[in-house]
Amino acid sequence: MSKRLPDRNTEFSRWYTQVVNQACLADYGPVKGTMVIRPYGFQLWDNIKETFDKMIKNTGHVNAYFPLFIPKSFLAREAEHVEGFAKECAVVTHTRLKADEDHGVVVDPESKLEEEIIVRPTSETVIWSMYKKWIQSYRDLPILINQWANVVRWEMRTRLFLRTSEFLWQEGHTAHATAAEAQQETMDILELYRQLADDYLAIPVITGLKTESEKFAGADKTYCIEAMMGDKRALQAGTSHNLGQNFAKAFDVTFQTKDNQEEWVWATSWGISTRLVGAVILTHGDEKGLRLPPKIAPVQVIVIPISKDDQQTAEVKAYLNPIIAALERSGVRVQVDWTDNSPGFKFNEWEMKGVPLRMEAGPRDVQQGNVVLARRDTGEKQVLAKNEAVEKIPYLLENIQQGLFDQALKFREENTHNIESYDEFKKVIKKGGFVRCGWDGTEKTETRVKEETKATIRCIPFDENPSGLTCVFSGQPAKHEVIYAKAY
Amino acid sequence: MSKRLPDRNTEFSRWYTQVVNQACLADYGPVKGTMVIRPYGFQLWDNIKETFDKMIKNTGHVNAYFPLFIPKSFLAREAEHVEGFAKECAVVTHTRLKADEDHGVVVDPESKLEEEIIVRPTSETVIWSMYKKWIQSYRDLPILINQWANVVRWEMRTRLFLRTSEFLWQEGHTAHATAAEAQQETMDILELYRQLADDYLAIPVITGLKTESEKFAGADKTYCIEAMMGDKRALQAGTSHNLGQNFAKAFDVTFQTKDNQEEWVWATSWGISTRLVGAVILTHGDEKGLRLPPKIAPVQVIVIPISKDDQQTAEVKAYLNPIIAALERSGVRVQVDWTDNSPGFKFNEWEMKGVPLRMEAGPRDVQQGNVVLARRDTGEKQVLAKNEAVEKIPYLLENIQQGLFDQALKFREENTHNIESYDEFKKVIKKGGFVRCGWDGTEKTETRVKEETKATIRCIPFDENPSGLTCVFSGQPAKHEVIYAKAY
């Protein structure tokens, strides 16, 4: 039987950890900072991955695979880039172990590498070293490559899915002939991220531009999708970078234009990661555990047969099989729990795992030709004739998908505050929530606000309207309207 | 225009490298031993991956993800295991870089790890450390987990797809309550590997048992699928290991049986890798480049429109579009080459890339309602009415699939020799081919033969018949009939 969860209102962080654990999503690995993604959590990630993979293939992108290992010198070629990643690099220095009489198995000092190798924290450098070989003329452009891969950024303060030394992600790396085309690509991908979050994860997101201090190390501009989690903190759910010509210059990648000029290539990069699984939990989870949006749920309908003896079990089984087959034919991901556990245990377990719909059927339902349906999002139960249930379930799933989105949007709107005074600002940030207010555009203000309140500028939203606003901190005329929040 | 390939008969190795390069399958990465899988090669791997992923899911397996990093001490727990992998381990020792006035970016000595970390060469150890947490009772068994991942085994003599420091693979790791069940799983997976090779890669394989000296480091028994490449060398294309209780003992993983006994858990592991892409090239390639089995080909039909001016191009396009749409509706992976290159260039390029069928159509074909089809496997050309072509193409693709398999099987049979004298043995091995002969069962014979001829025992085939045979080397009565060959 699943243990009770910590109170979501007062112990959100412990609640999160327990949901991840009890829903069998992930576990800690033996090396500090590493994560094991368990089958249920992995299937969830895989559904997100497949959804996004289709989106990028439909827009002309292709997958490839670049090496895990990067020469140390490559990382150093782009000054901001190495600055951004130097403090969290796993460094490979040797290539052999050997037996040692006193100390068991030790690293063989004779296998020391001449140049140390970095385990990729991101792949701009290794990819642009290849693009140098592949790009000569405008005919070779654009290159629209993506890879699904693991990356490593050393972390001491680990949280499963949200902050781990190794995580899984996709990283797109595109090369273009013009600045305009690179900017278009950056925005097109951001729009796909927005669709993925809104339409599939049921997480409403704000789209906008990162400030200079929050942008990606090596980018000209970083755009993002930002979401509000159940504890009112912000989570950066995806970023799309216009890299300008920075990496082309660092790796000397030029091309011959149509009119025979030589020019540096324009670049973008963009990524989403297993962090999105964390975002789904933090956005939709409730006091009973996970609540999964149907479109990405590994199981959309869990069937719980109810019976007291073998004969009843056989009857219920014979009754349920055609119902399940009919659902599978309509493309519904349905699973039956035939384990020996009690119905109560099963109800709790599958609620914990966030399955959108539960279907129950016992001897009385068999007699009456009915099934019982229970929605995970609202708890609402209804008795339906079996054929009606089969017909209705796809619509119910759509309904649940929309319901989760609406609920999250309402929550975000209720907890987003337009504010003009810094006192009010501090109160809201302390209580939790997003603040929408004026910013004078200086890094100094950003830094001071962060030091004093721990809130950061999440983004300059595309729908900003700074006219008439003053900076909530300095009182100067606002250069931008921004979203401030404490963030994951 | 693609350059001419080296002669496949006299310079097989250079031919291979050039095919990989000219068909845009892969490239060398900047760190010695690493590989970049280019989009066309990656799509080929992805098709193999998806095929096998369906097979294992249909047989009750699930995917998960375990960490890249393994504590050094874990590797050492299973004695044979560490012995097998110690000499090819990437070792992570530090976690930070820093700026140094004299030397640019250097490894920060203060970030030295207390215990060194190994980049996984395979994941038995990290996975069994987790199974210890997850397995208590027989109710927790079996566990049928697989992961798709990258692994690292340090290599100095690199060959793309065949031998690289990092490669992509799947590794299955299952846990069972009985020895019999583990053995069954080992054999079931081997059968899936055989099906994948025979039915999808069109590579006929021999199934059998590895000798003690060739088995996986830490296994009780290693079974394999072995194939003959175009240069008559053997290639191990997949292995399935019965690990007995070795890893359960090393990681202290016991379970409570139904009758309340405590017992060590039984284990299997099994893997196939991007090496299979190499096997496809080496098996089916010819003097014009790659020949891909239709079932895994990224493009099954390449359409080459032929026209002299814009008006003809428009006519041909209008003519081809419904044909292409009809093929897509039948599930054929079809692509049109609308680039400016000449038809001759396009023919060469797509032949190099191994697309099973080429469809040509020019103004005269438009008038007559025809298309020209050319088979990549035989070079055979035919003119067909367009509707007939659409109907016929799926069957032609099946035909090509079978044809490639038959050709490879014939080649293997012609180059497999039942041999009784060691002189003959040496001649065949020198000339190239498989030798089927008696072996006295001693490691000494195996070692001597390897030293003298470079041939190894590829496997003890399941259909062996040692009765009446003598060992080709020692003349002693044969314990087994085996397959010897030089191998990749």
Mutate to test the interface with B, among A78, A94, A95, A153 (most CBs of B within 10 A): A95
User: A98 near B127, Cβ under 8 Å?
Assistant: no
Q: Rounded distance, CA B131 to CA B249, Å?
A: 12
Give me the total of CB pairs closer than 8 Å, taking one residue from chain A and one from chain B. 201
From the centroid of its chain, how far is CA A322?
37
**Residue-wise pLDDT tens digits, A87-105:** 999 999 999 999 888 888 9
Sorted by sequence, the CB contacts under 8 Å of residue A199 that are 6+ apart come out as: A295
A24 close to B (CB below 8 A): no
Tokens of A272: 């989403």
- Residue in chain B lying closest to A96 (CA): B87
- Residue A2: per-residue pLDDT: 53
Lateral strand order in the sheet of B166-176: B62-63, B143-152, B166-176, B266-273, B234-244, B221-228, B206-209, B456-461, B480-485, B434-439, B416-418
- Residue A1: per-residue pLDDT: 43
Whether A297 has a pLDDT exceeding 90, the answer reads yes
User: B247 near B78, Cβ under 8 Å?
Assistant: yes
- Residue B79: per-residue pLDDT: 82
**Beta-carbon separation of B71 and A117 below 8 A:** no
Distance from CA of A436 to the nearest CA of B (A): 37
Distance from CA of B230 to the nearest CA of A (A): 27
**Kind and range of the H or E run holding B13:** helix B12-22
**Beta-carbon separation of A97 and B117 below 8 A:** no
- Residue B80: per-residue pLDDT: 86
Cα separations (Å) of A196 from A47, A50, A59, A182?
A: 11, 11, 14, 21
| Mean pLDDT on A396-422 | 97
Is-cis flag, bond preceding B356, omega within 30? no
Q: Which domains can be identified in chain A, with CATH numbers?
A: 28-97+105-284 (3.30.930.10), 299-398 (3.40.50.800), 416-485 (3.30.110.30)
- Residue B1: per-residue pLDDT: 43
Sorted by sequence, the CB contacts under 8 Å of residue B168 that are 6+ apart come out as: A65, B37, B45, B148, B149, B150, B273, B274
**Residue-wise pLDDT tens digits, A246-290:** 999 999 999 999 999 999 999 999 999 999 999 999 999 999 999
Q: Rounded distance, CA B29 to CA A313, Å?
A: 59
Mutate to test the interface with A, among B77, B81, B97 (most CBs of A within 10 A): B97
**Beta-carbon separation of B67 and A96 below 8 A:** no
Q: What is the percent of chain A where pLDDT is above 90? A: 95
**Residue-wise pLDDT tens digits, A55-70:** 999 999 999 999 999 9
Whether A3 has a pLDDT exceeding 80, the answer reads no
A69 close to B (CB below 8 A): yes
**Beta-carbon separation of A76 and B105 below 8 A:** yes
B25 close to A (CB below 8 A): no
For every residue of A177-197, DSSP letters joined together read SSHHHHHHHHHHHHHHHHHII
Q: Rounded distance, CA B305 to CA A350, Å?
A: 55
Whether A114 has a pLDDT exceeding 90, the answer reads yes
* Residue ranges with strand state E in B120-265: 143-152, 166-176, 206-209, 221-228, 234-244, 254-256, 262-264
Distance from CA of B384 to the nearest CA of A (A): 32
Per-residue pLDDT for chain B (488 aa), expressed as one digit of tens each? 457 899 999 999 999 999 999 999 999 999 999 999 999 999 999 999 999 999 999 999 999 999 999 999 998 888 888 888 999 999 999 999 998 888 889 999 999 999 999 999 999 999 999 999 999 999 999 999 999 999 999 988 899 999 999 999 999 999 999 999 999 999 999 999 999 999 999 999 999 999 999 999 999 999 999 999 999 999 999 999 999 999 999 999 999 999 999 999 999 999 999 999 999 999 999 999 999 999 999 999 999 999 999 999 999 999 999 999 999 999 999 999 999 999 999 999 999 999 999 999 999 999 999 999 999 999 999 999 999 999 999 999 999 999 999 999 999 999 999 999 999 999 999 999 999 999 999 999 999 999 999 999 999 999 999 999 999 999 999 999 999 999 99
- B-contacting residues of A 239-298, CB under 8 Å? none
B109 close to A (CB below 8 A): no
User: A34 near A27, Cβ under 8 Å?
Assistant: no
* Residue ranges with strand state E in B376-448: 381-385, 416-418, 434-439
- Residue A7: per-residue pLDDT: 96
**Beta-carbon separation of A94 and B95 below 8 A:** no
Tokens of B290: 């790659």
B95 close to A (CB below 8 A): yes
Mutate to test the interface with A, among B95, B127, B134, B165 (most CBs of A within 10 A): B95
Of B39, B104, B107, the CB nearest to A145: B39
Whether A18 has a pLDDT exceeding 70, the answer reads yes
**Residue-wise pLDDT tens digits, A321-345:** 999 999 999 999 999 999 999 999 9
More confident: A172 or B84:
A172
**Beta-carbon separation of A46 and B63 below 8 A:** yes
* ipTM entry: 0.96
DSSP letter assigned to residue B199 = I
**Residue-wise pLDDT tens digits, B108-135:** 999 999 999 999 999 999 999 999 999 9
Q: Rounded distance, CA A52 to CA A170, Å?
A: 9
Contacts for A194-197: CB closer than 8 Å, 24+ residues apart:
A194/A225, A195/A55, A196/A48, A196/A51, A196/A52, A196/A55, A196/A238, A196/A272, A197/A225, A197/A227, A197/A237, A197/A238, A197/A276
Distance from CA of A406 to the nearest CA of B (A): 32
Q: Kindly list the residues from chain A whose CB atom is less than 8 angstroms away from the CB atom of residue B35.
A: 67
A144 close to B (CB below 8 A): no
The amino acid occupying position A62 is V
Whether A35 has a pLDDT exceeding 90, the answer reads yes
Of B65, B76, B96, the CB nearest to A37: B65
Whether A453 has a pLDDT exceeding 50, the answer reads yes
Q: Kindly list the residues from chain A whose CB atom is less than 8 angstroms away from the CB atom of residue B76.
A: 97, 104-105
Lookup result for tokens 């609540």: A291
Classify burial at B365, counting beta carbons within 10 Å of its beta carbon; exposed 0-12, middle 13-18, buried 19 or more: buried
